[in-house]
Amino acid sequence: MGKATGFLEVERQNIPNRPPLERIKDWFEIHAHRDDSAVSRQASRCMDCGTPYCHTGILLNGMSSGCPINNLIPEFNDLVYRNRWREAYERLRKTNNFPEFTGRVCPAPCEGSCVLGYIEPPVTIKDIECSIIDRAWEEGWITPNPPKFRTGKKVAIVGSGPAGLACADQLNQAGHHVVVFERADRIGGLLMYGIPNMKLDKRLIVERRIQLMRDEGVEFHTGVFIGKDKFWTPDRLRNEFDAIVLCCGATKARDLPIEGCDANGIYLAMDFLTANTKHLLDTNFDPSPPPINAKGKDVIVIGGGDTGTDCVGTSIRQGCKSVIQLEILPKPPPHRLPNNPWPEWPKVYKLDYGQEEAAALQGSDPRNYLVQTKRFLKDANGNLTGLEVCNIEWVKDNQGRMTPKEIEGTTRTLPCQLALLALGFLGPEQEIIQQFGLETDARSNVKAEHGKFTTNIPGIFAAGDMRRGQSLVVWAINEGRGAARECDRYLMGSTRLP
C-alpha cells in the first residue's frame, strides 16, 4: 500500500492555490497547476491501515464520515504513488461519475476520517482525486462510450444538478433512453449557477462533462419548469415515460423576516451568485456590471457556510468597498475537542478561499462570530444603509434547547448597502411535489427511503437534496446513483448497476 514509510518521511502539502491578491482580479479557477511528482509523493503517505475509514461513507452524529460514494481511496493512492495513473483513473471511475466536480468542491469528509489524521495531518485525498481526473482528461482517456444496447425504456429526470446528472449517467449506461429537464437556461443546476466560476469552471469543467453525456446519448432540455410549463406537464411525463426521477434540489432558501427586511439591497445569496455567473457566461466574461453588483459597496454576508464564503469571494471580485461575514455560531476551535473525536467530521477553524482573499485584502478574517442581526436600516428612499447587530451567547431554555441570548450593551450599527442572506435552505419547492401527489416527511422533503428512493407513486423516484434535505455534492451523487439503480430494477426486474 503505497510506500510503507511514506507517512513518516513526507509531510502533508496541498497543491497550492494561486496567490489571493492575484486571483481576485479574475474569474478563473483559484487552483494552481499541479506537479504530478509532488502528487505521487503525497499519495505515498497513505498508510497500509487495517481498516481504511476514508471510504466508509457513514454518518456520525449527523455528519459525514468517509466518502459517501465509497471511492476506492487506498487503491488509487497506491496506484498514483506507483505512477500508474490510468489504472488509478479506472479505480476512480468505478464509484464516481464526476471526480472533476468533487475534486474541486467537496469538503473532503474522507480526509476527516483518514486513519493517518488521527496522529498527523491526513492524506491529501481531494487533491489526488482531482489530479487523477484532470490527467485523465488531458491524456484523452475519457471519450464517449454510449451503451451498446438500448432497452426501449424511457426515463425522465427532473433537475440537472449533481443528483440528476449522476442518475442520468447511470441509467444511460444501463441502456435506457434518458431525458433530463432543467428549468434554468443551462444544464448543471447547483454546479452551474450555485457554485462560482473561480471554484468550478463552467466551460472547461461542467460543460465538458455535459457534452460527453450528450455524446453518449443523454438528452437535455433547458428552460422547462415541470409544474409550471404548459407543454411538459406532470401528466405528460407520466404518459410518455416509463419512470420519473425527481432531483429538484432543496431550493427554498431561508429568509430573515426582521424589521427593515423590505429594504432595497437585500438579496438571497443564491440569487446573487446565480445572477453573477449567468452574467459572466452571457457576456463572455465582459467586465460590465452584473444585475446585482457589489462594486463600491459595504457588503455584509449573513451566514458562515460555503455559500457565504462564495458570496465573499464574488463580492471581492466585483470590487466591493468592504466585506464582512456574520456568523451566529461561536468560532470553531483550532483542534478537535473531546466531544468531536476522530473519525467524525472535524469541527475546527479553517480559512476557506473567500476568507483568505478577504484577509489578504482587508487584513483579517471577515467573519464575526456570535453576532445576530436585529434589524435592517434604510433611508427615505427605501435603500439599505446598515445593519443593527448585537453579540449573543448560547443558553439553554426551559426545555433544555440551546437558544441565542443577546448580550446587553453590544448593540451597534454596521454600514451596509448590500446584504446577502446565506442562511441555508428549508427544503424543496412544493409545487411539483403537490402536482405529482407525493407524500412528504416532517421537514417537507419528498418521502422516499434512502436505498430505495421510491415515492408513494409507483414509477416515481426522488433523490438528492429534494429527498434528504440540504447536503453535499458528493451525497447528491450517492443518491443519484442509488436512485438509478432502483429505477433500473423497477424497469427491468433486476439491475447490474452498483
Alpha helical stretches, state H, 1-124: 6-9, 20-23, 36-43, 73-81, 85-95, 99-105, 109-112
- Residue whose grid cell is 454576508: 301
pLDDT > 70 fraction of the chain, expressed in percent and rounded:
100
Q: What's residue 287's pLDDT?
A: 87
Q: Is residue 190 within 8 Å of residue 472, measured between CB atoms? A: no
Rounded CA gap, 232 and 76, in Å? 43
Per-residue pLDDT tens digits for 397-446: 888 899 999 999 999 999 999 999 999 999 999 999 999 999 999 999 99
pLDDT(1) > 80? no
**What value, to the nearest 5°, has the Cα angle with vertex 168 and ends 165 and 172?**
145
Q: Is residue 148 within 8 Å of residue 134, measured between CB atoms? A: no
pLDDT(228) > 70? yes
Instruction: Take residue 387 and report the three cell numbers written for it.
Output: 445593519
Q: Is residue 492 within 8 Å of residue 177, measured between CB atoms? A: no
pLDDT(122) > 80? yes
| The pairing of beta strand 402-406 with beta strand 384-396 | antiparallel
Q: What's residue 16's pLDDT?
A: 93
Mean pLDDT computed over every residue of the chain = 96
Q: What's residue 344's pLDDT?
A: 94
Gyration radius (Cα) of the chain, Å:
23
pLDDT band at 234 (very low <50, low <70, confident <90, very high): very high
Q: Could you give the domains of the chain?
A: 6-139 (1.10.1060.10), 154-251+426-492 (3.50.50.60), 255-423 (3.50.50.60)
Q: What's residue 50's pLDDT?
A: 85
Q: Model pTM? A: 0.96
My answer on whether omega of the bond before 52 falls inside 30° of 0, hence cis, is no
Instruction: Take residue 165 and report the three cell numbers written for it.
Output: 446528472
Alpha helical stretches, state H, 44-155: 73-81, 85-95, 99-105, 109-112, 125-139
Per-residue pLDDT tens digits for 170-212: 999 999 999 999 999 999 999 999 999 999 999 999 999 999 9
Residue partners of 235: CB distance under 8 A and separation at least 6:
none
Q: Is residue 256 within 8 Å of residue 302, measured between CB atoms? A: yes
Per-residue pLDDT tens digits for 311-347: 999 999 999 999 999 999 999 999 999 999 999 999 9
Per-residue pLDDT tens digits for 13-59: 999 999 999 999 999 999 988 999 999 999 999 998 888 999 999 99
Per-residue pLDDT tens digits for 348-381: 999 999 999 999 999 999 999 999 999 999 999 9
Q: Which residues pair with 65 in a beta bridge?
A: 58
